[in-house]
Amino acid sequence: MEEVPVQQLPTSISVKDLGLYIYTHNSKFFQDEFKRIPEPANVTYKVGLSKQNNRKNRYKDIIPYDHSRVHLQALNEPEDDYINASYVRVGNYCYSLIFVPAVMRTLLEVYFGDFDMLDIFDTAADRRCFFIYWPPSVVERLWIISEQNHQNRYKYIATQGPNFVSLNDFIRMLWEQKVEQVVMLTHLDEYSKEKCEQYWPTSGTKEYGTIEVRLTHTKNFTNYIVRYLELVKDQEAHKVTQYHYISWPDHGVPSSPWALVEFEQRVSALKTSTPLVVHCSAGVGRTGTFIALLNIMQQAEQIGQVDIFSTVVKLRQDRLLMVQTAGQYEFLHTAVLAAIACSKATLHTSNIKYLPDNQTLENEYLAVCSVISTLSRTKEEDDNLEDENVDESEYVFANFKIDLRNRFHSIVPSDKDRPILSCEPLNNGDYINAVFLQNFDKKSRHIVTQLPMPITVVEFWRLVSQYNVSVLVAFETDAMMKDKTVSKFAPSPAESALKCGPFKVNNVSYKVDNLWYEQSLQVQSDLSREKVLSVTCLYAKFADLDTRKHVPLLKKLSSYKLQKDQKIVYMCRNGATYSGFLCVLSLLMERLETETSFNVPLIVGATKTVRPEVVPTFSHYKAIYETLASYLHLSAQTVKVNNPIFDESQTDYAHIYCNI
């Protein structure tokens, strides 16, 4: 096979310039660039197209190249060595760390000619680590003389989701290649069509040819499932972990990259000396996009540059159609940008001695905002295309009615993120200005909304009733006294009840604290009098970013033990600034219930994708870090945070809240 020269125009982009580059190029630019990706020359598919092997291919036009196909150990017939799977090399321009004595530098220069090299002195071994960045043709020669690199040349195996014929062969490949991790990027069925044969038992054990597969346990997350498998053959056992991503839509690409980035971080943290198997259904589109993301993140970390175009060119030299569509190619750019924003932001609770400096935090925040701006631009382009085919006159009245229910016309939810109210007699439709904000490891139980308006107070209680809300947190409730758009939605301390349309809101108790009022309510509806919903409402006395106020409020919220199906609603005037701030903190704290690390830009990015007005300034972003650090400091005295928020002027604060 001949190497295909990459595009003559420079396609390598500095990490710091990537956000501006993506934002200033529209979808048509990426579509046109995608069309210029060349296909490799002089490749053959003879083995995969043979009559004996053709039935092992899920799709007749997706065949592995002969030069890069995975060879199984032949059993009875020569064709038994075939599986629709391809070895995939690392990177676009291959790069490698090579440890050689310093005196070898001259010899390397003579043999290979000029190259860019960064010397890193290794005092322990008294050797220099030469980081060499060469084009593929030179690196090909390097593999010949470096046996260790030759063994690690192929880091991935890209393969189709097995069909019935190739099912046992797939398990055999895992066994023979000593695979330790598998990434699955498809559902078993999509749109009533089989996309992948299930190659693990639902429970217990199952035999696949001569190999027994045992499911030992499973962990379920919002966007993916982790299955721990054990392969047994001839009394020898081999462990395999499968990471099954379940949030890639049946058609198109994800609307947001954050869930995939969180998944990529989980996979990238894996340590394995054997190839990582990645598959979707055909083993080219989603598979190529994910492998490209892993490769490009390695580039960003090692050289501070990314070359997305050349990476795809290189991948296609090992398997056809890797990154199959222009949509996947454009999405890959956004996913890379989001992944870079989060790549160095993971902090561990056991080692928080210093928070990142202001410049680092500001860079993080700007990177997140860059992703959000890119997503907004892409959505606007898509909406404009849809609007060309829509008769707007049909929606004028409906949109007018909905518009009246938005306090701020620029802050509105998307249909896919908002709670849909079920139809009831005498109601006003299914709309309320609210959004779900979810964590990556739990189903959504957090709702952010605006304070009820006179026209929406009934919809507010419909939301509480229909979605089994047990806790309300309200900011800026003093606005009821001066803002006519803010409606009273609960009885005052002196009142026994308040009637809101069909809902009767009963005052059970009312407590006053330094930072909030706590009210216990019971809600009944005329439509179902036998159902009584108990709700606790916290009215915050403050509306600012003061860490000393938010920490005890977080502690108070954590004292409420929500049942699995119960939800919490956060409210403020615009349904974003203060309600969103506290919700982000709650999401991070929820994460720490099961994890020992957290990634602020990951959560903030996912939240701003749903509600862009959340965390509107860098001050809000920085306050998230400070509040979280304070919370952890007060929750566990073993964690000592060295941060200006713990200066001597705040000694009283530490004393006051030491028992919360």
In the Cβ-directed half-sphere of 4, how many Cα atoms lie within 13 Å?
21
Residue of 94, 196, 280, 500 with catalytic role: 280
Of the candidates 418, 415, 437, 379, the one whose C-alpha atom is nearest the C-alpha of residue 222 is 437
Strand 516-525 to 503-512 pairing: antiparallel
Query: What is the 8-class DSSP label of residue 55?
Result: G
Active site residue 280: yes
Tokens of 284: 């080219």
| Sequence-separated (6 or more) residues with CB below 8 Å from residue 85 | 64, 69, 70, 157, 158, 159, 160, 173, 277, 283
Distance CA 19, CA 369 (A): 9
| Sequence-separated (6 or more) residues with CB below 8 Å from residue 26 | 377, 381
Of the candidates 218, 268, 208, the one whose C-alpha atom is nearest the C-alpha of residue 242 is 218
- DSSP-H helix ranges across 413-498: 457-466
Q: What secondary structure does DSSP assign to 519-543, as a single string?
A: EEEEEEETTEEEEEEEEEEEEES--
Cα–Cα distances (Å) from 545 to 256, 577, 580, 630, in that order, read 28, 10, 12, 13
Check: CB of residue 591 under 8 Å from CB of residue 583. no
| Sequence-separated (6 or more) residues with CB below 8 Å from residue 460 | 432, 449, 452, 489, 500
Considering only the C-alpha atoms of the chain, give the largest distance between any 2 of them, rounded to a whole number of Å. Answer: 90
Q: What secondary structure does DSSP assign to 594-653, as a single string?
A: T-SEEEHHHHHHHHHHH-TTSS-SHHHHHHHHHHHHHHHHHH-TT---B-GGGSGGGHHH
Query: What is the 8-class DSSP label of residue 224?
Result: E
Q: How many helices and strands, by DSSP H and E, does the chain display?
A: 19, 26
Distance CA 523, CA 154 (A): 62
Distance CA 170, CA 167 (A): 5
What number of other Cβ atoms are within 10 A of residue 220's Cβ? 13
Tokens of 600: 């602020």
Q: What secondary structure does DSSP assign to 485-523, as a single string?
A: TSPP-S--TT-SEEEETTEEEEEEEEEE-SSEEEEEEEE
Say if residue 461 is exposed, middle or buried (CB neighbours under 10 Å; 0-12, 13-18, 19+): buried
Residues involved in catalysis: 280
